[in-house]
Structure 1
Amino acid sequence: MSRMVAFLCFLMSFLLAGAYCHAETVRVLTGNIEPYAIENGPRPGFAIEIVQEMGRRAGIDVEINFMPWQRALLEASLGHDVAIVPVVRTVEREALYSWIQPIMPGEPFYLLAIRPDVDISSFEAVRNSVIGGMANAPAESILRRAGLRYLDLSTDNIINARKLLAGRFDVWFAREAEAKLAMTRLGESPARLRRGFVVDAPPSYLAASRDFSPLIARRLAKAFDSMKADGSYERIVNSYGYGWLARQGP
């Protein structure tokens, strides 16, 4: 009898060890989108830390892969069982991904300028101006839907900040936090930016390929709910200096 008990205990520990070793791994794609995702920084960005903690609580190994953002968006839309963060949920993207969990409230976009004589009070006021912004992103979609034609777009906010400072364009359409961070990275005072017309934006999500496991998605979403409930979500965002964002939602 004792041998049988010992054998059953051994079998149980073997099975548990096997289950542990074969825990699900989710590959999460992202780009260098400061302050949400930061490649080669002392910390990975608050969106990444949130997703890592979601995975830890859900018993899922999260593998973060940095790559150019446009490649990440394409790979997630065409790939299999792969997640991506942070993705703004727009009409254009709705059918391309499965939407696991909003992790950040929508941050408004602003018309920004440095020169005091540039009117940035409305889209109509800048209709004949060259406007800088992020390519293949919500900023571009908003500008094009507004009928604005003279766009100077790039895939990097540092490049956009350089263009604004060099006078390549006088109006920049961007989220305030991203624009200020880009100015700081270039050694310029963010206080130089004037803020004008504002456009609200939808939340940013942890999204995934269309065939992503609904069971894993639910586990991750449940883990996020627990982070909101115990205050760890707000603590992570606060630690990056964006507590005001955490208090808005998502």
Structure 2
Amino acid sequence: MWLRRFILGLLCALPALSQAAEPAPVKLVVGDMAPYSVAGNTDSPGSLVEIAQALARRVGTPMEVQFYPWTRALAMVAVAPRTLTLPLTRTAERENKYRWLAKLYRQKFIFVGLQGNGKLSDPSLLLHARLTTLRGTPHKRLLLEAGYTDVDECATVRECIRMVKKGIADASYGAEDTHRSAASMDGNKAGEFSYSPVYRQDDVWLAGSLDFTEEDSRKWRAALETLRSDGTITRILHKYGATGN
């Protein structure tokens, strides 16, 4: 009789044990920043979103992707457990606010203005121009520290481009990939805009809430290396017209 009760008790406990063994899901919160993250397109959710999804599969963690305004996404990672975001540049101001899980990509930063804006040929000529840049990034602070005197902010890269097109701003500053993508949306024509030489470059990361551990970071970095080695990252970037770096 005792053996029967023991077996029945063990069978009842198996579902709970199985559930406990499953890794806790993570939530990836991102802004709409094509080509890195593309809202409303489950087949092509963006190059860096797809890389993050591949990483999650490799470490065996279910992932849910949600889109929010960029500043709200950043705020959520600061307070919500098991939450990730991208693409995040790693700065001294941000260093202790997030767990830095994986270095994903190296961005090139440029200025974008209307065709015929001769100052774009040399970013130093834009020191006193009306500039705009994405809110929630370190760009405004960096530009002001570099001597640029008139820097506004916008909620999305597409809004930055609209400000340039309407003459509200002389140029927008930010990642070349996102600005070229935004310049091709909303009925814009490629020939309407000009681009400066690369002003600076920086790495962008997949970052998480502080409840992720150093061991988690090690696993995600190891998974990233396997994705680089087997060509997964190259294939994803190629899908979006980018190259590996």
* TM-score normalised by structure 1 residue count: 0.84
Percent identity between matched residues is 23
List per-residue Cα deviations over 1:129-155 (Å, max 9, x = no partner).
111221221322321221222123102
List per-residue Cα deviations over 1:113-167 (Å, max 9, x = no partner).
2242531244431222111221221322321221222123102111111111111
Match of 2:45 in 1: 44
Match of 1:67 in 2: 68
Answer yes or no: is the 8 Å Cα contact 2:71–2:135 preserved in 1. no
Answer yes or no: is the 8 Å Cα contact 2:117–2:194 preserved in 1. no
Give the 3 Å change call, closer, same or farther, for CA 20–96 of structure 1 in structure 2. closer
Number of positions where the alignment pairs a residue of Structure 1 with one of Structure 2: 237
Residue 202 of structure 1 aligns to a residue whose secondary structure is strand
Code of the residue aligned with 1:224 in structure 2: it is: L
CA distance, structure 1, for counterparts of residue 125 and residue 104 of structure 2: 34
Match of 1:187 in 2: 187
Answer yes or no: is the 8 Å Cα contact 1:100–1:205 preserved in 2. yes
Answer yes or no: is the 8 Å Cα contact 2:101–2:216 preserved in 1. no
CA distance, structure 2, for counterparts of residue 122 and residue 92 of structure 1: 29
Code of the residue aligned with 2:87 in structure 1: it is: P
Q: Mapping of 1:208-223 within 5 angstroms?
A: 208-223=208-223
Match of 1:118 in 2: 118
Coordinate RMSD, CA, aligned:
2.5
Q: Specify every segment of 5 or more residues in structure 1 that has no aligned partner in the other structure, as ranges.
A: none
Q: Quote how far apart the aligned CAs of 1:35 are.
A: 0.9
Give the 3 Å change call, closer, same or farther, for CA 93–190 of structure 1 in structure 2. farther
Q: Mapping of 1:161-240 within 5 angstroms?
A: 161-240=161-240
Answer yes or no: is the 8 Å Cα contact 1:115–1:170 preserved in 2. no
The runs of at least 4 aligned residues of structure 1 exceeding 3 Å deviation read: 14-17, 121-124
- Further displaced range: 85-94 or 55-64: 85-94
Match of 1:26 in 2: 26
CA distance, structure 2, for counterparts of residue 165 and residue 92 of structure 1: 32
